[in-house]
Structure 1
């Protein structure tokens, strides 16, 4: 956890949301020692991937069955402190990509995401929050993709603004808009 805490401490927030979320995540790290696993049923770490094409004009999304919405890919840390590793693993599992690479080893975005109560694998999951770290990944638009049947039913490339419109989750639309704004600034460097 020490390595993850160092990464979070040196992360430069993009906006007021990230500044506040960074403060809360660090406070949670001081309070709980089990944030890397779902044993902490109120808050735990997840890693997401914003997968862009080489031209950085499109993003790869998956149609997530639980939320009935087009969404980024990602998943629970499940004990792995290397959240970039988690994001890469989830990107490959959920999209079928074999050659996806990070554009940076640094965290691209952070957010605390509310997760409504739902049923997963026949079990009730209570409302909780994900302490999420997003990484910017790149893949070829021509690379073959496939679905992960137990999680999603489609995978597809979308223009950046179209990705926001295709999401049916208003809270996530805000996150995706932020990721696209960051991408514009990131691409200018």
Structure 2
């Protein structure tokens, strides 16, 4: 899946190369026990019209983000992505847009509660959700809401990663 993915930018190309290195050199790369870096999966959750995205205000990181989380040993990142959406939002009327990778990102997670700072190698998938379905947030979120893409841009002026996914979504819509 990673080798077939065509990065949209030089930064994504660099992320893919680092991810392939981790994948090929660390058999436990899907486990949190690999302390310096491990794979995570995220959902860029949008409505079918591609006008809104679902964002969560992450309790630990205290910022707005897409839904997602740790692989916890599961190398099938599509499954991890969908599981995380349901766990974090309660949404069940969801589906992968096409099952292909939508975006790649590597981001640093600061030290917390004795767990050293480390990198999340985040594989992201485009997921469709139903804006009429009731959201049921869990303990990982302070808040969760559907946001117009135009408004979401203002949330992420200094976050190239999420701005990149917003731009990709706008290109799909046009």
Measured against the shorter chain, the TM-score band is: over 0.9
More helix by share: 1
| Structure 1 counterpart of 2:108, from 110, 114, 134 | 114
RMSD over aligned CA atoms reads 1.4
C-alpha contact 1:51 1:60 (8 A) present in aligned 2: yes
Greater mean alpha carbon deviation, residues 25-34 or residues 37-46: 25-34
TM-superposed CA distance for 1:163, in Å, is 2.2
Aligned to 1:59: 53
Deviations 1:143-174 (A, max 9, x none): 1101102x112110111132243359x4xx21
Q: How does 1:146-161 map to 2 (within 5 A)?
A: 146-149=136-139, 151-161=140-150
State the TM-score, normalized to the length of structure 2.
0.94
Q: How does 1:67-106 map to 2 (within 5 A)?
A: 67-106=61-100
C-alpha contact 1:69 1:166 (8 A) present in aligned 2: no
- List 4+ stretches of structure 1 deviating above 6 A: none
Gaps of 5+ in 2: none
Alpha-carbon distance in 2 for matches of 1:161, 1:28: 35
| Structure 1 counterpart of 2:154, from 158, 165, 180 | 165
Aligned to 1:178: 164
Aligned residues: 174
C-alpha contact 2:90 2:135 (8 A) present in aligned 1: yes
Give the SS at the match of 1:22: helix
Give the SS at the match of 2:133: coil
State the TM-score, normalized to the length of structure 1.
0.87
Deviations 1:3-23 (A, max 9, x none): xxxx00010001011101111
Deviations 1:55-99 (A, max 9, x none): 111100111110111111100011111101000000111111111
C-alpha contact 1:69 1:167 (8 A) present in aligned 2: no
